[in-house]
Amino acid sequence: MNYKLWKAEFNGDPAVLGKSFKVNGTPRTLVGIMPPRFQAYSVRVWLPLPLRRGAEGTTFLGSLPASVFAIGRLKDGTTIEAARADFDVIARRLAKVHPKDFPEQFTVSVQKVVEASMGQFRLMLYALLGAVVMLLLIACSNVANLLLARATMRDRELAVRAAIGASRGRLIRQLLVESLVLALAACLAGCAFTYFGLKGIMSTIPQDRLPGEAIVGLDPAGLSFALAISVLTTLIFGLAPALQAVRGNFRDSLMSTNQAVNGGLRHGRFRGALVIAEVALSAALLVGAGLMARSFFALSHVDLGFNPTNILYARLGFPDGPYDTAEQKRLFFQQVLDRVKALHGVVAVTEAYTLPTVQGAVSDVTVPGKTHSDRWYAQLALVSDGYFQTLGLRLLRGRFLSQLDVDSARQITVVNDALARQFFANEDPVGRRIKFNGFDRLPHTVHDAYFEIVGVVTDFRNTSLQNAAMPEAILPYTVSGLDDRDILARTTVAPGSLLASVRREIWAVDSNVAVAETGSLKTLWKESFLMEPEFDLIATGTFAGIGLALVVIGVFSVMAYTVSLQTHEIGIRMALGGRQASILKMILAKGAQLIGAGIVIGLSASYALTRFLASQIWGVSVTDPWTFAAVVTLIALVGLTACYIPARRAARVDPMIALRYD
Contacts made by residues 172-178, CB under 8 angstroms, sequence distance 24+: 172/239, 172/242, 172/243, 172/246, 175/147, 175/151, 175/238, 175/241, 175/242, 175/245, 176/235, 176/238, 176/239, 176/242, 178/238
**In the predicted model, what is the mean pLDDT of the chain?**
81
Global confidence as pTM:
0.71
Lowest mean pLDDT, pick from 33-42, 212-221, 324-333: 212-221
**The predicted structure's pLDDT at residue 256:** 54
The least confident of 24-38, 110-124, 180-194 is 110-124
Given this model, what pLDDT does residue 64 score? 40
Listed range (24-38, 87-101, 239-253, 577-591) with the worst mean pLDDT: 239-253
Cα dihedral 121, 310, 348, 352 in deg (nearest 10): 10
Q: How confident is the model at residue 534 (pLDDT cuts 50, 70, 90)?
A: confident
* pLDDT tens, position by position, 583-612: 788 888 888 888 899 899 988 888 877 777
CA pair distance 506, 313, nearest whole angstrom: 12
Residue 53's pLDDT is 47
Least reliable range by pLDDT among 60-64, 96-100, 152-156: 60-64
pLDDT at site 155: 67
Element spanning 474, H or E = strand 472-476
More confidently predicted of 161 and 509: 509
Q: For residue 21, report the phi and psi dihedrals to the nearest 5 degrees.
A: -130, 150
Is the per-residue pLDDT at 264 higher than 60?
no
Task: Quote the percentage of the chain above a pLDDT of 90.
Answer: 23
Which range among 14-18, 22-26, 136-140 shows the weakest confidence by mean pLDDT?
Answer: 22-26
Mean pLDDT of 507-529: 86
pLDDT at 566: 67
Q: Using an 8 Å Cβ cutoff, are 404 and 362 in contact? A: no
With 70 as the cut, is the pLDDT of residue 262 above it? no
pLDDT tier at 263 (50, 70, 90 boundaries)?
very low
Cα–Cα nearest to 73, from 110, 46, 48: 110
Whether the pLDDT of residue 260 is over 60: the answer is no
444: left (phi over 0), alpha (psi -120 to 50) or beta: left
Q: What angle do CA 357, 349, 465 make, to 5 degrees?
A: 10
Domain boundaries, the chain: 1-48, 50-110, 118-301+531-659, 319-512
> Among residues of the chain, what percentage have pLDDT more than 70?
85
Q: Is 351's pLDDT higher than 90?
A: yes
Contact present, 547 and 135 (Cβ < 8 Å): yes
Say what the pLDDT of residue 530 is. Answer: 82
Q: Across-strand partners of 412?
A: 452
Q: What is the DSSP annotation of 102-152?
A: S-SS-------HHHHHHTTHHHHHHHHHHHHHHHHHHHHHHHHHHHHHHHH
Residue 601 to residue 593: CA distance in whole angstroms: 12
Least confident range from 176-190, 214-228, 515-529, 565-579: namely 565-579
pLDDT grade, residue 15 (50/70/90)?
very high
Of 41-55, 276-290, 327-341, 455-469, the least confident = 41-55
Per-residue model confidence (pLDDT) at position 232: 81
Give the number of C-alpha atoms closer than 13 A to the C-alpha of residue 612, restricted to the C-beta side.
19
Strands 485-491 and 433-436: unpaired
pLDDT at 502 over 80: yes
Q: Cα separation of 513 and 99, whole Å?
A: 37
pLDDT of residue 261: 44
pLDDT 10s digits, 554-568: 888 777 777 766 666
pLDDT score recorded for residue 338: 93
Higher model confidence: residue 81 or residue 426? 81
Distance (Å, whole) CA 348 – CA 346: 6
